[in-house]
Every structure is written in C-alpha cells, then in structure tokens.
Homo-oligomer: A and B are copies of this chain.
Amino acid sequence: MSPTPQRRPYVSRTASFASGADSPVRVLEECLAEIDRREAAVGAFTLIDAATARTAAEAAAKRWQTGTPLSAIDGMTVGVKDMIDTGDMITGMGSPLYDGYRPRFDSASVQGLREAGAVVLGKTVTTEFASSQPRGTRNPWDLTRTPGGSSSGSAAAVGCGMLCGGLGTQVVGSILRPSGYCGAYGFKPSVGGINRGGSLDFLSQSVTGTIAASLADAWAMARAVAERVGGDPGYPGLTGPLTLPPAQRPARLALLRTAGWPLLTSTARASLEAGLERLRAAGVTVLTSEDCPELAAVEAATAEAREITLDINAWEWRWPLGSYMARDAAGLSPSALERHARSNAMTQADYVAMLARRQAARAAYTALAGQADAVISVTAPGAAPVGLETTGNPIFVVPGSMLGAPGVSLPVLDDGGLPLGMQVLGFPQGDAGVFAVAGWIEDVLGR
C-alpha cells in the first residue's frame, strides 16, 4: 500500500449517480479495492460484509437507472460506528462485554440509512463504549498516529476512501476531532438532530452524526436519516433541504479560541491564520473576544467545558456502568473503571450543578447568535499525535459539544503536511445554515 492517501478532490459521489457519471456499484468496488490496499494497516473495521453490500449496490444502481432512487444518498457506500445496532451484524461497542452481541433490529439511524437506499458495507471501530479507550485503529495519513476517536474507524475509512460516509457520534469531540485528523468532512448535528434509538449513544449532550468524503454527502446522509426516523424523541430533528444548501457568504464569523489556544502548534496556527486572512480578504469580518463581549462571555463560560462535560457524562454513565461492573468488571478498561469511580463520587446535586453551568453557557451562546453568522475554530491543537494510546486532545471541540451546537469539520487546514480541520459551528437548530457557511468557506479556501 502507499503509505499516505492521495489528497483527493473531494466531490460528492452520490451527486453523480443521477447523471450516470458514477454508479453505486463502481463506487462500492472502489471502496473494496481501497480496503484491500489499506485496511490491514489501518484497522478501521470490525466487520465487512461485501456480499450483502454488493446486492444492495446493484439494487440501488437499478433504481438510479430507472429514475426511481429512494433518496439523494441511494447507493452511497457507508459504514456504521460499532456502537450503533445493526440487525444483521454483530455490534461490539468496543468492549469485550459485548463480544458476539447480535442485535435483533437496526438502530434508528441504520433504519433511516437503509430506507434511503444506502449500502451498509460494515461496522467501523469505536473506542470502548464511544469513550476514551482506543481500539487500535491507525491514521491513514501516518500509521504511527491516532485517527482520533471515538468515531475512529468511520473517520479513518472515509479519510482514505474505504467508505464514502460513516456514522459517528459525539459527546466530547468524537466526530469533529477524528474527521479533522483524517482529512474527512465531519458533521455533528444540533443536540437531538438525529434519532439515537438503538445505539449506546444515550448521554444528554451526545448526538449521532456523519463523516463523509464531501460536504454534500455529509449533509445529505444526515438529512436523509432525519427525514425518515426523525430526531431524538421530543426534538424536531434535522430539517432543511435534502441536498447541500447553497453556499452563503457570512458577514461576520466569531473566532472561538477556546482554552486550547495556548496549545495550538505554531504550524497549525499559521495554517489557521492564513485561512482567516483569505476569509477577511473575501469580505468577512472575523470577530475575536477582544472586540466582541458576547464572544468573550462564551469563551469564559466554556473555559472549563471539558471538566463540566466529564462530570455530566460520569453521572449519566451510572447506568450502565453499574450493570457492567456487576456482570464483568474485569472486562472494563482502566478508563471505564475511572469513570465509574468518578460517577460514584458524585451526587444528584453535583450533577444538577453541572447542568446549570452548561445551561448558563448555552444562554451565553444564544446571546452570541445575534453577533455572528457562525463560529470558527480548529478541531485540534495540531495534527494527530503520534501513538495509539490516546485519541488526541478534545479541547477545541468540547465547547461545541457542551453548547449543543451544530458543527462541521472542514479539511481545509494542515499542520506540517498532515490534515487538520477547520471547525465551523452554528447555533442550535441552525444546521442547514452551518453547511451554507461551510460551503462558502470551502469555496474560498479550496480543498
């Protein structure tokens, strides 16, 4: 295999199905060929079912030929993060506690994908329970480095063309960070945007989202799911056009430096500054906390986003961690045991206090909405770190998670020749607007 993927011109493959310029069968075969070349080294999958995928791709191809596609993503080759149930594939949750676990039914997001005609090729590696313990996947751009997590396999596979799209989930930084590290497009919807039923994605600020090889596919994939199975119960679910919203130049962008700013590598910072300069040259005002008090208030309210998030998550993990402990404590990683101890040290009152801090941060963020069209940042302090022991620092992405905001990772920055994402955040329920701004930024900065 070639050691690094080509930086390919990311275009929507599904957009070429209607004209016949591309076909679900050809795309699937290209993905399978890439898997042959790279999967042994990358380790993005827990399971691949090429036979079932081929049957599905052929059916999709026929539908396009007869002008009866089920959706804009009919025939798209996708993978499913392995903590989201699939009725026909083992779902391992990144843990020996789920060895051989075979759900009877598809999760909501997988049901939505199948009803939209997507070709489910396999299950992609997740860290243990979509938390912090890595499970061996490597970054396709540099095999000595982490792909990020927890949606490690979806990001790595999409980043090197083994998949056109993958499902991911994010509660701390599990979609935008690995997407940034792997050169893929990541989309973390507003909280509640995509129905999480049938997955181990139950935390209050967690969302199911998409990772894809183009902005258009990241949007269309998520939107097709929400159209069919809605958002989380009680939420409207992702709305807006079924295909990528037209690019729209923002008047003002707010630069969210986050608590991670001092950690930003000089090369990553140079890449970001060069990008910002080109955005300014194209007529956009980039606000910083020095000239925007509302932005300063958001930075202050999210300065401890990581600690607040970890406490909220710990309490919300009382179940099922307690049940896991009762059944097989030896099957849990040190990281899971640590979270269990953290949860047991908390009371309901501690949790309520953390919810109040999160709510205050969200209120500050709402106040910023009148000042900027979107918020930008990076997805990590620099390129993916060397080593597979951690999934990298989430400090730049955890604020957006805590705020419940929709966000996109655009593969338009780099750090020493390795991918780094530009993070574009919107305001809750403004998911389509984020894509309009992100599309414009991509047009300006190039791919």
Contacts and interface: CB of A to CB of B under 8 A. Distances in A.
A326 interface: yes
A105 B320 contact: yes
A234 B351 CA distance: 9
A230 interface: yes
A354 to B, nearest CB: 11
A237 B195 contact: no
B105 A351 contact: no
Given A237-B348, A326-B106, A348-B230, A320 B198 contact: yes
A296 interface: no
A101 interface: yes
B108 A320 contact: yes
B229 A322 contact: yes
A10 interface: no
Nearest to A236: B352
A316 interface: yes
A323 B104 CA distance: 9
Contacts of A105: 320, 323-324, 327
A320 B323 CA distance: 24
Contacts of A315: 230
Contact of A348 (B115, B203, B236): B236
Given A198-B320, A204-B233, A104 B101 contact: yes
A318 interface: yes
Contact of A106 (B205, B226, B233, B323): B323
A227 interface: yes
A345 to B, nearest CB: 14
A112 B197 CA distance: 22
A362 to B, nearest CB: 12
A87 interface: yes
A105 to B, nearest CB: 4
A249 interface: no
A107 interface: yes
Given A87-B323, A348-B239, A228 B318 contact: yes
A423 interface: no
Among A107, A111, A323, find the residue whose CB has the most chain B CB atoms closer than 10 A: A323
Given A87-B327, A98-B104, A327-B87, A229 B319 contact: yes
A202 interface: yes
A241 to B, nearest CB: 13
A197 B233 contact: no
A318 B239 contact: no
A97 interface: yes
A315 B326 CA distance: 36
A15 interface: no
Contact of A355 (B198, B236, B316, B323): B236
A201 to B, nearest CB: 10
B204 A322 contact: no
Given A111-B322, A348-B239, A230 B316 contact: yes
Nearest to A109: B319
Contacts of A326: 87, 106, 111, 114
Given A106-B323, A114-B326, A237-B348, 14 more contacts: A87-B327, A98-B104, A111-B322, A111-B326, A195-B318, A197-B202, A197-B319, A198-B319, A202-B233, A204-B233, A227-B348, A229-B322, A233-B316, A234-B355
26 contacts: A104-B327, A105-B320, A105-B323, A105-B327, A106-B320, A106-B323, A106-B326, A107-B319, A108-B318, A111-B319, A111-B326, A115-B322, A197-B319, A198-B319, A198-B320, A198-B323, A204-B233, A226-B348, A227-B348, A228-B318, A230-B316, A230-B318, A236-B351, A236-B355, A237-B348, A239-B348
Interface of A: 87, 97-98, 101, 104-108, 111-112, 114-115, 195, 197-198, 202-205, 226-230, 233-234, 236-237, 239, 315-316, 318-320, 322-324, 326-327, 348, 351-352, 355
